[in-house]
C-alpha cells in the first residue's frame, strides 16, 4: 500500500481515545492549544461503553485520604493527580455535560440513568464543538526507520510530526477494544523504563471437580470474609462477595485483595486464603449448633436448619474438606469459619478488567512527562498504578488525563516562546 500524506499536529497530539485520552484532549484545548486525537478503532470510548453496560460506575464517594489508599501501586503519585481532579470534581464535570450523578448504597457514584452512552455522546459533541479534531482508524505502530511517529490508516501508512504528544493507550485488558499493550517494546527501545503488564481486577484459578462446576458455576458466595497474608507479611481480612466460576473464583472481593494474591503467586507459585462462610456467627455458636443432637437429621439438613448453610457454601465444604472432618464437630466448625483455599494462577490479562504494570513511574515526572522523550506525556492505565473496581480506576484515568493534557499544552506554549525552538518535536 502506498504511503499516505504526512500528518502535522500543530499543537498537542493525543494518541488513544479512552477516558484518559479524551480528558487530555479537553484539558489541552481548554488551554487554547490546537488538539488532534488519534484512535485506532472506528469510534472513541469503546471500553468505556462496555464497562458501563451494567451501570457506569464513574467514581466513589469515599472521602480522601481513604480514597487515596485504595491505590495499591503508585498511590502517592495518584494522590497528586487527584489533588487537581478528584471524585467530586469528576461529578461536577459530568454535571457540566448535563449528566447528573448519584451515590449508591455502596458509596459508588453512577450517572442518574446508569448509562455510559449519553455521557460519551455529550462529551464527544462538546470536544468537537471546542475544536478538537478526532481521527478514527489511525492505529499507532511505533516509529519508522527515521524515528518519526507512524500510523496505519485506511489510506495507508502515515507519518506524524507533532510539538507535543500525549499517549493514552490503555493497558492490555480487553485487547479487542484497542488496549493490547503493543506499545511496551516500542517505548522500551527508546529508553523508557517499563514494567511487564499483569492482570488486575481478575479472577483466580482453582481446579474444581466436575460436580462443583456443573452444579454451582456462577453461584454467588455472599457474604464471606477472606483472610489472607498481605505483601508486607501482615494478616488481613475483608468482607465481601465473590462468585464461584468454572475456573475458580471471581468478583469484587477477589479484585480488592488481588494485588496481595498476585504477590503470593509470584513469590510462591500459589496463593492461600481462608474463607469465613458464616461472618455473622462466632465459631462458638457454630460449634454449639454442630454438637447438639441431630434428632435423626442428616448433617446437610443440620447445616441448613441450624446455620442456614447450604447451596454453594455447603458444596464448597464437601469439595475442599477431607471426609474425616465432617465426623468431628470441632474441626468442622473451625473449617466453616476458616475454609482453606489454594489458588493456582490469575486469569489471563485479556480477561481482566484492568492491568497493572506499564510505564514505570520513575520514568515519568510529576507533570506526567516521559523523561526519556522530551515533549511526550502519558496518562491512564498505561502507567504503572493499580486500583480495585468501584470507581477508583476511572477517577484516576480522568485525573491523569487532565494533568497530562495541561502539561502538554504548557509545553507547546513554552516551545513557541522567543527563547525556544518552535520546530515540531520529533523522536
Ordered by start, the domain boundaries in the chain are: 7-200+351-415, 204-346
**CATH code reported for the domain at 7-200+351-415:** 3.50.50.60
- CA distance linking residue 348 with residue 346, whole number of Å: 7
C-alpha separations of 172 from 115, 244, 285, 302 in Å: 24, 25, 47, 48
Entry pTM: 0.91
| Radius of gyration (C-alpha) of the chain in whole angstroms | 25
3-state secondary structure of 350: helix
Pairing of strands 139-143, 149-153: antiparallel
Residue 425 clears pLDDT 70, i.e. is over it? no
pLDDT (mean) for 199-215: 97
Q: Partners of 265 in the beta sheet? A: none
C-alpha cell at 390: 468501584
Residue 418 clears pLDDT 80, i.e. is over it? no
- CA distance linking residue 141 with residue 271, whole number of Å: 38
pLDDT (mean) for 161-184: 93
pLDDT (mean) for 110-131: 97
Chain CA centroid to CA 179, Å? 12
- Which pLDDT band holds residue 347 (cuts at 50, 70, 90)? very high
C-alpha separations of 111 from 57, 59, 94 in Å: 8, 10, 8
Residue tagged 504526512 (cell numbers): 6
Residue 420 clears pLDDT 80, i.e. is over it? no
C-alpha cell at 217: 458455576
> For residue 231, what pLDDT is reported?
87
Residue 423 clears pLDDT 50, i.e. is over it? no
C-alpha cell at 314: 455447603
C-alpha cell at 29: 484545548
Pairing of strands 133-135, 35-38: parallel
Q: Could you tell me if 400 and 79 are in contact, meaning their C-beta atoms sit under 8 angstroms apart? A: no
**Which of 411, 344, 392, 89 lies closest to 204 in space, CA to CA?**
344
pLDDT digit string (tens) for 249-298? 999 999 999 999 999 999 999 999 999 999 999 999 999 999 998 888 89
b/e burial code for range 252-275 (CB count within 10 A of at least 16 → b)? bbbbbbbbbbbbbbeeeeebebbb
Q: How many other C-beta atoms lie within 10 A of the C-beta of residue 300?
A: 14
> For residue 2, what pLDDT is reported?
58
Q: Could you tell me if 240 and 224 are in contact, meaning their C-beta atoms sit under 8 angstroms apart? A: yes
Amino acid at each position: 500500500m502506498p504511503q499516505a500524506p504526512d500528518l502535522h499536529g500543530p499543537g498537542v497530539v493525543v494518541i488513544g481515545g479512552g477516558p484518559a485520552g479524551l480528558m487530555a484532549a479537553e484539558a489541552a484545548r481548554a488551554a487554547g492549544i490546537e488538539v488532534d486525537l488519534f484512535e485506532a478503532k472506528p469510534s472513541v470510548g469503546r471500553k468505556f461503553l462496555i464497562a458501563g453496560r451494567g451501570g457506569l460506575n464513574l467514581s466513589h464517594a469515599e472521602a480522601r485520604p481513604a480514597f487515596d489508599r485504595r491505590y495499591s501501586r503508585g498511590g502517592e503519585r495518584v494522590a497528586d493527580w487527584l489533588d487537581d481532579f478528584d471524585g467530586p470534581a469528576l461529578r461536577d464535570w459530568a454535571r457540566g455535560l448535563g449528566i447528573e450523578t448519584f451515590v449508591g448504597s455502596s458509596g459508588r457514584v453512577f450517572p442518574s440513568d446508569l448509562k455510559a452512552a449519553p455521557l460519551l455522546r455529550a462529551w464527544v459533541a462538546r470536544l468537537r464543538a471546542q475544536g478538537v479534531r478526532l481521527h478514527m482508524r489511525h492505529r499507532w505502530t511505533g516509529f519508522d526507520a527515521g524515528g518519526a511517529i507512524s500510523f496505519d490508516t485506511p489510506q495507508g501508512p502515515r507519518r506524524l510530526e507533532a510539538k507535543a504528544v500525549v499517549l493514552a493507550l490503555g493497558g492490555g485488558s480487553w485487547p479487542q477494544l484497542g488496549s493490547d499493550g503493543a506499545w511496551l517494546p516500542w517505548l522500551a527501545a527508546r529508553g523508557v523504563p517499563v514494567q511487564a503488564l499483569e492482570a488486575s481486577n481478575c479472577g483466580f484459578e482453582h481446579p474444581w471437580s466436575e460436580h462443583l462446576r456443573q452444579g454451582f458455576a456462577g453461584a454467588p458466595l455472599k457474604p464471606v470474609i477472606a483472610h489472607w497474608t498481605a505483601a508486607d507479611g501482615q494478616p488481613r481480612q475483608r468482607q465481601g462477595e465473590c462468585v464461584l466460576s468454572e475456573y475458580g473464583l471471581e468478583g469484587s472481593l477477589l479484585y480488592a485483595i488481588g494485588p496481595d494474591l498476585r504477590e503470593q503467586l509470584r513469590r510462591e507459585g500459589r496463593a492461600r486464603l481462608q474463607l469465613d462462610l458464616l461472618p455473622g456467627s462466632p465459631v462458638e455458636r457454630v460449634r454449639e449448633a454442630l454438637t447438639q443432637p441431630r434428632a435423626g437429621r442428616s448433617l446437610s439438613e443440620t447445616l441448613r436448619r441450624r446455620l442456614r448453610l447450604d447451596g454453594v457454601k455447603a458444596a464448597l465444604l464437601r469439595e475442599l474438606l477431607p471426609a474425616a472432618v465432617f465426623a468431628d464437630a470441632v474441626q468442622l466448625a473451625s473449617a466453616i469459619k476458616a475454609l482453606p483455599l489454594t489458588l493456582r494462577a490469575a486469569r489471563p490479562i485479556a480477561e481482566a478488567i484492568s492491568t497493572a504494570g506499564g510505564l514505570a513511574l520513575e520514568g515519568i515526572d510529576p507533570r506526567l512527562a516521559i523523561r526519556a522523550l522530551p515533549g511526550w506525556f502519558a496518562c491512564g492505565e498505561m502507567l504503572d498504578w493499580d486500583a480495585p473496581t468501584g470507581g477508583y480506576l476511572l477517577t484516576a484515568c480522568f485525573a491523569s488525563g487532565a494533568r497530562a493534557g495541561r502539561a502538554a499544552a504548557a509545553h507547546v506554549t513554552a516551545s513557541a516562546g522567543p527563547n525556544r525552538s518552535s520546530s515540531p518535536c520529533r523522536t
